A and B are shown apart, each in its own frame.
Chain A
Amino acid sequence: MIKAVGAMADLAASAADNGDHQAESRESESRMVRVRVLRQDIAGGESYWERFEVPYEPNMNVISVLQKIAAQARSQDGRHVAPVTWDCCCLEEVCGSCTMLINGRTRMACSALVDKLVVEDGEEIELRPMSKFPVVRDLVVDRRRVFRALEKIEAWVPVEGSYDLGPGPRISPEEQEDAYPLSTCMSCGCCLEACPQYTKIEVVRRDDESEADFDARRKAAHDSGFIGAHAISQTVLFNAHPTGRMIADERMEALTSKGGIQVCGNAQNCVAVCPKHIPLTRSIARAGRAATVWAIKKLFDR
């Protein structure tokens, strides 16, 4: 992941001072994109708003606005400030790393186009870090809980071994079609951010605590919280896979442990905000059915 740092900022800022922008057309010179960013200098620190103004260009997305902010490293009132930090990678809505709150709603910054934002929500663009995860700095958040949930439900096909297992079982086209949408999940966390049942867990390291102890305490805290729609959907995906199914019971055990599927409150925001349009509520209902069957099996088959 790229963290925009201010190394190039001074260069770019001085370039702008040199008057290069005068060569640009009068229209783009007059039009500025105004941005309000909720910043935070350090994990656990105070947050504060800072306003920026960058020259408009056609087809800008929020990432390119942030790049311009990093380049000029100046707030709207002309103060020299540290560039805003953010996460991004693929820039084509498949990696899931640039999730943030844009005008109050969770979405990917790379696919948030300035022209549309201005039409839909007015002149100023508001950027905030995700509210359900601890802020590392500015728009960068610690999303380890997202991945911890995937670990908890063992979201993989268990094929590790020291010998050749041979070819895998065949999967019918129908099953493939069913599974494919679920496999497009990029762990962006939009479903979690919008979920009213998914609440922030922030574990702060104690002064006398070793890194290992802190890690264990954080994982335990994450494990007791809601696993979220993404992990529930991945349970469905891997329990539908002929090889993945081999550890289906372990996944069901995790899915029905504390913070499991039962915490879902059926608000269905997850499916509404998912940038990949994954049928998350269908997955939740299917996982609910599997959990019902599994609980009955557990009760009577032992």
Chain B
Amino acid sequence: MSQSSSSFLERHQFLIYRLFSLAGLIPVGAFLVVHLLTNSSILAGDDGRTFQSRVDMIHSLGPLLIPIEWAFIFLPMLFHAAVGFVIIANGMPNVGSYAYVGNVRYTLQRATGMIAFAFIVWHVMQLHWLGQPFGGGRFDPHHAASSAAEALKPTVVAILYAIGVLSTVFHFANGLWTLGITWGLWTSPAAMRRANAVSVVVGIGLAAAGLGALGGMRSLDVVKAREAETWMEKQKQVLSVPGAAVTPVPIPSPAK
């Protein structure tokens, strides 16, 4: 028997694959939803004020943000990607011989997974401060909209982002449907069709949010946005000074 060659990973294949499946939804997929919805707040039409306040809310976590990011975003994503590459390497797509819709989706799921991985690595390097040693890290949380808008200015970047966002959203929406089969949530063909309709709606909604955010960032008036952000930044500084008034505008104190 090949008992000696059966590694830890082989003995716990079921657990690992199920954790891989779960990680795609929670936390990675959940983060994707929050991320795209947050970004789409750029469409509020207030020179990025709403977007800036959402970013401020996230950054109010302060030093906790880094461990939270690693525990709930980066590490689960790397785990999902690592197992995903093993799964891709062990499969043999055959759409050429069997061009069924399900099979096309199977193949697309793998293709978009790889595109999404490459895109996310680039995206993080380009905008997140982790990318600063590599000349990236261009996102400034104090100037959220304007710094993001400038990074997305080049047409090539915008096209690559559109491809990346659509691939990621397809991978998530289709993954949502297959996850339900894997865990046994929907079992009959009719239930699978209904779940598929829900996945399609989720996918279209997220694609609209993602592409809307991209378009919103690119059509942003960077000068106005920067002014708004600077003003909001000053407000925060006033608020953070100990003993300062609750609002920058002085109001008469009722208790005398």
Say yes or no for A288: interface residue by CB 8 A criterion.
yes
Min Cβ gap A216→B in Å is 6
Contact yes or no, A288 B183, CB < 8 A: yes
Chain A, range 99-158, C-beta contacts under 8 Å to B? 104-105
A261's nearest neighbour on chain B, judged by CB, is B14
Say yes or no for B17: interface residue by CB 8 A criterion.
yes
Min Cβ gap A199→B in Å is 5
A221's nearest neighbour on chain B, judged by CB, is B2
Q: Give the distance in Å from the alpha carbon of A272 to the alpha carbon of B109 in the complex.
A: 19
Cβ 8 A contact of B97, one of A104, A199, A262:
A104
Q: Give the distance in Å from the alpha carbon of A217 to the alpha carbon of B127 in the complex.
A: 52
Of A4-12, A160-168, A290-298, the one with at least 4 CB within 8 A of chain B = A290-298
A200's nearest neighbour on chain B, judged by CB, is B92
Say yes or no for A36: interface residue by CB 8 A criterion.
no
Q: Give the distance in Å from the alpha carbon of A257 to the alpha carbon of B103 in the complex.
A: 25
Contact yes or no, A266 B183, CB < 8 A: no
Contact yes or no, A295 B92, CB < 8 A: no
- Known contacts: A265-B106, A266-B178, A291-B184. The answer to whether A272 contacts B18 by CB under 8 A is no
B187 cross-chain contacts in A, Cβ below 8 A: 282, 285-286, 288-289
Say yes or no for B60: interface residue by CB 8 A criterion.
no
Contact yes or no, A199 B181, CB < 8 A: no
Interface residues on B, range: 35 or more
Q: Which residues of A contact B (CB under 8 A)?
A: 104-105, 194, 196-197, 199, 216-217, 220-221, 224, 256-269, 272-273, 279, 281-282, 284-292, 295
Q: Could you name 25 residue pairs across A and B whose Cβ atoms are closer than 8 Å?
A: A105-B97, A194-B94, A194-B97, A196-B91, A196-B106, A197-B91, A256-B14, A258-B11, A262-B14, A262-B17, A265-B87, A265-B91, A265-B106, A265-B109, A266-B106, A267-B102, A268-B106, A273-B98, A281-B192, A284-B181, A285-B188, A288-B182, A288-B183, A289-B184, A292-B183
Q: Which residues of B contact A (CB under 8 A)?
A: 1-2, 6, 10-11, 13-15, 17-18, 87, 90-94, 97-98, 100, 102-103, 105-107, 109, 178, 181-189, 192
Those 7 A-B pairs whose CB atoms lie nearest each other, nearest first: A289-B184, A268-B102, A267-B106, A285-B187, A262-B17, A288-B184, A266-B178
